[in-house]
Structure 1
Amino acid sequence: MDSKVEWAVVDSDIGPLLLAATDRGLVSVVFHAREAVRDRALDRLAAQLGAGPEELTESASGRLAEPIRQLAEYFSGGLREFDVVLDWRLTAGFNRQVLRELADGVPYGAVVGYGDLAKRVGQPGAAQAVGAAMGANPLPVVVPCHRVVESDGGLGGFGGGLETKRILLALEGVLPQPLF
């Protein structure tokens, strides 16, 4: 572990989000970060990064100030592309390759199929593996796994829940806003 991990829980249109950052950048975004989920996520993060409890610091300033500002702007409709430094160490290999392609190649307001994303990374038969990569995404919303859908137009799965995926796609203009 190179340094402390700063974390904060912020409110959003999709519920509380836990954000965590290291000196390398934003390392984790966790959905539905109420107390029990937050505590489990922090324990898991500490284990993954080799951090002790004293190295996990609650702070909404410093490393997290810019990610928090950009997420607020995104949810208000004013930000279409995140520009924050990311710490990719919680993902590797194929998953990292797929997530980087997603982050760089699928813009706001667009969607891509699981199979199409597999083709983009040179693995045309790996649609299910792309689905697994989306489920393991440590940086959802910022690395927009909500933009990956089934080839027949179905939403597919989503770690934050399908209602959360619908809200994010509606925010980006891909789906109509819910009626109520």
Structure 2
Amino acid sequence: MSDYETIKRAIEFLDSRHTPPGLEELATFLGLSVFQTQRLFARWAGISPKRFTQAIVAEKARLKLLSQENVLQTSLDVGLSGPGRLHDLTVNVYGATPGEIRTLGADLTITWGYAESPLGLALIAATPRGICALSFLDNESDEGPLARLKKEWCSATLYRDDTRAEELSALIFSGFRGEIADPIHVYVQGTNFQIRVWRALLEIPSGEISSYGEIAEKVQSPRASRAVGGAVGANPVAVLIPCHRVLRSNGDLGGYHWGLERKRILLALELKDPV
């Protein structure tokens, strides 16, 4: 059985359990020793089985909190002993308390719209604190980017303003036209690990590239190249958080959420004339 199939069985097992299992119980289910289970998770995900289990339980809790379930009930539903354990878990994984997750985006107005860009049509969304989404799409009938925005900021008030989106597009891509680009703030949310990866991406200078393994080293998780790839792919703000500057260690382009052609164009523009 491949590592992927074994990990898939582990996830299905974790999802089926009301109370998070211990390492020995998980190893027994997988037909492995405790040592083999630890090696498997380190090799495949770059993290320990305990950390992996915490991430799955935390995501279950996050979805329940976003659906406005109260903190006590959420704690019990995901198999924790009470709000204190839930608090420790969500702060550890997301850097936010259960209450903060539950009210995420409350009293926040997000202005969003469609705008043309050098890379085609873009959906751009902004809060008073900064850009919170920048996605590329082929046409407005592609509802994926807007659906993602609504899901990630489910408690916020969304207001469409294409004129403002056009203004932001001009500002964001001014550097690609040879103009002096003004600093642009972003306002994003993610797990602690995702935020660390995105910060590492911001440190890659324009005109240079890095690899998933090098990013893993920067965030002090040298075995977590696969998890780094997941965090890079989850980047909600294209270009401004330059996930396009990350390639595979063999030089292949790897993936890009908004299409490899756009990744090639961005890299060519920056390598020719760093922004």
- The 8 Å contact of residues 9 and 33 in structure 1, kept in 2 or not, is answered as no
1:108 aligns with 2:206: yes
- The 8 Å contact of residues 4 and 51 in structure 1, kept in 2 or not, is answered as no
Superposition pairs of residues 114-129 of structure 1, within 5 angstroms: 114-129=212-227
Superposition pairs of residues 1-180 of structure 1, within 5 angstroms: 1-32=106-137, 34-37=139-142, 39-51=143-155, 55-60=157-162, 67-79=168-180, 83-89=183-189, 91-103=190-202, 105-173=203-271
- Superposition RMSD in Å: 2.3
- Pick closer, same or farther for the CA change 1:161–1:124 going to 2, 3 Å: same
- Pick closer, same or farther for the CA change 1:82–1:113 going to 2, 3 Å: farther
Q: CA-to-partner distance for each residue in 1:86-133, whole Å, 9 max, x for gaps?
A: 1122x2221111001111x10100100110010011011111111111
1 CA distance for matches of 2:256 and 2:144?
Answer: 19
Give SS of 1:16's match.
strand
2 CA distance for matches of 1:30 and 1:100?
Answer: 19
1 CA distance for matches of 2:214 and 2:261?
Answer: 24
Greater share of helix residues, 1 or 2? 2
> How many residues are paired up?
168
- Paired amino acid for 1:57: Y
1 CA distance for matches of 2:154 and 2:131?
Answer: 16
2 CA distance for matches of 1:76 and 1:171?
Answer: 10
Please list every run of 5 or more consecutive structure 2 residues that lacks an aligned counterpart in the other structure: 1-105
2 CA distance for matches of 1:92 and 1:82?
Answer: 28
1 CA distance for matches of 2:185 and 2:167?
Answer: 10
- Paired amino acid for 1:153: G
Residue number in structure 2 paired with 1:178: none
1 CA distance for matches of 2:182 and 2:237?
Answer: 12
Q: CA-to-partner distance for each residue in 1:135-172, whole Å, 9 max, x for gaps?
A: 10001111000000111111111111111100000010
* Structure showing greater Rg: 2
Give SS of 2:120's match.
coil
2 CA distance for matches of 1:163 and 1:102?
Answer: 20
Alpha-carbon deviation of 1:70?
A: 2.5
- Pick closer, same or farther for the CA change 1:7–1:33 going to 2, 3 Å: farther
- Paired amino acid for 1:68: S
Tell me which stretches of 4 or more aligned residues in structure 1 moved more than 6 Å: none
Give the TM-score normalised by the residue count of structure 1: 0.83
Give the TM-score normalised by the residue count of structure 2: 0.56
Alpha-carbon deviation of 1:33?
A: 5.4
- Paired amino acid for 1:36: S
Please list every run of 5 or more consecutive structure 1 residues that lacks an aligned counterpart in the other structure: 176-180
- The 8 Å contact of residues 211 and 249 in structure 2, kept in 1 or not, is answered as yes
Identity %: 36
